[in-house]
Structure 1
Amino acid sequence: MILYYFPGACSLADHMALIEAGLDYTLISITPEKKTEDHRDFLSINPKGYIPALELDDGEILTENMVILQYIAAISGKLLPQTNILKWRTLEALAFMSSEVHGSYAPFFRNFPETEKERAREKLAKAFSLLDHQLGDKNYLISEQLTIADFYLFWILMASSRTGLELSQGLQRYYSRMKRLPSVARALHEEGLS
């Protein structure tokens, strides 16, 4: 498999999950000009033009973080509980982070007016409060078992530094604990972020 990524972007969640799941992968970075590091047109690979994109061994391309994370869990048999409500809680958390949090980061990654950034900060503060409550005293977001939702949450928290919002102590502890996981440390190193 090939993971098309940009260092430190949301594709980091997929990168960490691939490592944790023990799957073989190749990384190919994408430039802001939509070129691959080997000078191909990324739009010919993913016409949507954004990362992540995962090229399967048969040449099929998957896009969207939620889908790629679920695919990694499905083919590895890891990182997604299958036996009870925890599976659905994991998918619920992925959807929430994708729609309510990730989408709210747009003003901080582009040149938006301060009024838009302030509206986004209000929405993010509420979302972070909900995630902090869901985390509670657990080691991981859904249960005491690491899931694909944890890798997405790690990236969400890493990217939060652009917003100017302060994370709760619980989310800060969680972020620090996740950063020490071998799969997270390796992905950060491979992307030149450590």
Structure 2
Amino acid sequence: MVKKSEKQADVEELKKEITKLKRESSRKIKEFESQVKIQVEDIERKGKEIEGLKAELQRRDRLLKESRKVLFRIKKESSSRISTLELKVKKVLEELRKKEEDLQEGKKLLDQRDKELIRLREEVEARDQQLIAKDMEMEAYKKAGEERILELEARVKELERKGEGASTVTM
């Protein structure tokens, strides 16, 4: 009789441990899923920022090319008409100088955006690596928890069988 109650106590203890492990495993998995979700949202937000920066970069690049074409055309026209348009050429050259300054400012801004784009790409890549590591960690933890649960359930069944065998022998 004493052995039966000890075995039942062992079985109950193992069942409690299984329940505790299941709860803890579920909690950990939810934490990992929450972390992954946050990081995915962050990556998506950064991706949208990158797309916006790319569009801005393309627009400014197009403006730069167009401005250079305009500059080339104006210089060509002014050189062919220099004798009759000397005053006008001076005004145009002054405007061109201002546009060139604006272009330089735009180029500086583009350079800054390029650097920001590179930094954001590196951040996204780092986050991707973190997500991969978290996924692997979560899978390993889940697998270990499931294996432990299976072991404990097998042990409970074994103890229950022994407990049933012992109860039939004592009767």
TM-score of the pair, normalised by structure 2: 0.26
Which structure: greater strand fraction?
1
Higher normalized contact order (CA 8 Å, seq sep 6+, divided by chain length): 2
TM-score of the pair, normalised by structure 1: 0.24
Bigger Rg, structure 1 or 2:
2
Which structure: greater helix fraction?
2
